[in-house]
Amino acid sequence: MVKDLLKKSRSYRGYDESYLVTREQLLELVDCARYAPSSVNLQPLKYRLVYGDEVKTLQPLTKWARALPQLTLPHPGHCPTAFIVICQDLEISDSIPRFQKDVGIVAQSMLLAAVEMGLGGCMIGNFNAGEVKKALSLPEKAAPVLVVAIGKPDEKIVLTQIDPGQSTDYYRDENDVHYVPKRKLEDIVLN
Ligand SMILES: Cc1cc2nc3c(=O)[nH]c(=O)nc-3n(C[C@H](O)[C@H](O)[C@H](O)COP(=O)(O)O)c2cc1C
């Protein structure tokens, strides 16, 4: 069920590094993204697959869990073993704001497919596009717009419900269990 996949598809920040995500798995995720809707059907997004040794190049350029500055996440030895860098082909459209919604749709589609494959991931918007472009020798026309980490999750995440006015900040307990507060259904429907 889609709802079960949505509940399971959390932003994982801890992975089993002994599980190496393959190029074939990443291609399957991008193939799922291909079916996503796109504004005026322009489909300006392209995908740079990062796996194997290249992961070490990209990992230090990604910033994780800004709400937990006291922690270094992922913990050493628990990094994702692949990334998909979503790029916008500027020759198709040079308006990046116009396609931000497309980016969200393809990213979530790939993450849901990853969960179905027994994997998991995390969207990373906190990176410097120029640095990533240079490190991966991306073509001039390719602007990185979102990084999606992929791996075999090895951490526990618990969803909680909050009332209006309560903090939406995610947090961890002494056992490194990660808690993600979500607003209640009755608090997000406007009528
Ligand atoms: C567009 C977008 C960008 C994000 N960027 C980052 C990021 O740079 N680093 C990070 O650790 N998490 C990032 N996240 C993950 C969010 O922090 C996460 O979705 C939120 O804490 C809720 O947790 P959940 O995805 O498990 O529901 C991003 C999420 C979205 C939707």
The reply to whether ligand 1 has any atom less than 6 angstroms from the CB of 123 is yes
Atom 30 of ligand 1, residue of closest alpha carbon: 123
The reply to whether ligand 1 has any atom less than 6 angstroms from the CB of 125 is yes
User: What's the rounded mean pLDDT across residues 109-122?
Assistant: 98
CATH 3.40.109.10 segments of the chain: 2-155
pLDDT tier at 124, thresholds 50, 70, 90: very high
Cα of first residue to Cα of last residue in the chain, in angstroms, is 27
Fold category of 2-155 in CATH? NADH Oxidase (3.40.109)
The reply to whether ligand 1 has any atom less than 6 angstroms from the CB of 135 is no
pLDDT tier at 116, thresholds 50, 70, 90: very high
pLDDT tier at 99, thresholds 50, 70, 90: very high
The reply to whether ligand 1 has any atom less than 6 angstroms from the CB of 122 is yes
pLDDT tens digits, 42-91 = 999 999 999 999 999 999 999 999 999 999 999 999 999 999 999 999 99
Q: Contact 73/65 with Cβ under 8 angstroms?
A: yes
- Cα separation, 58 vs 151, in Å, equals 14
Q: Pinpoint the alpha helices (H) of the chain.
A: 2-8, 23-33, 55-58, 100-116, 129-135, 185-188
CATH 2.20.180.10 segments of the chain: 156-191
Strands 178-183 and 120-124: unpaired
User: What's the rounded mean pLDDT across residues 110-135?
Assistant: 98
Which pLDDT belongs to residue 183?
98
Which of 63, 96, 103, 123 has the most ligand 1 atoms within 8 A of CB, as the residue to mutate? 123
Is the torsion defined by CA of 52, 54, 60, 62 positive or negative? negative
Atom 17 of ligand 1, residue of closest alpha carbon: 65
Q: Which ligand 1 atom is the nearest neighbour of the CA of 62?
A: 8
Strands 157-162 and 171-172: unpaired
Q: How far is CA 74 from the centre of its chain?
A: 14
Percent of the chain at pLDDT > 90 equals: 100
Q: Which ligand 1 atom is the nearest neighbour of the CA of 73?
A: 11
The reply to whether ligand 1 has any atom less than 6 angstroms from the CB of 63 is yes
pLDDT tier at 130, thresholds 50, 70, 90: very high
The reply to whether ligand 1 has any atom less than 6 angstroms from the CB of 129 is no
Nearest CA among 143, 130, 138 for reference residue 44 = 143
Nearest CA among 27, 29, 30, 141 for reference residue 88 = 141
Which pLDDT belongs to residue 102?
98
Centroid of ligand 1 to alpha carbon of 11 (angstroms): 6
pLDDT tens digits, 140-171 = 999 999 999 999 999 999 999 999 999 999 99
Q: Which CATH class is domain 156-191?
A: mainly beta
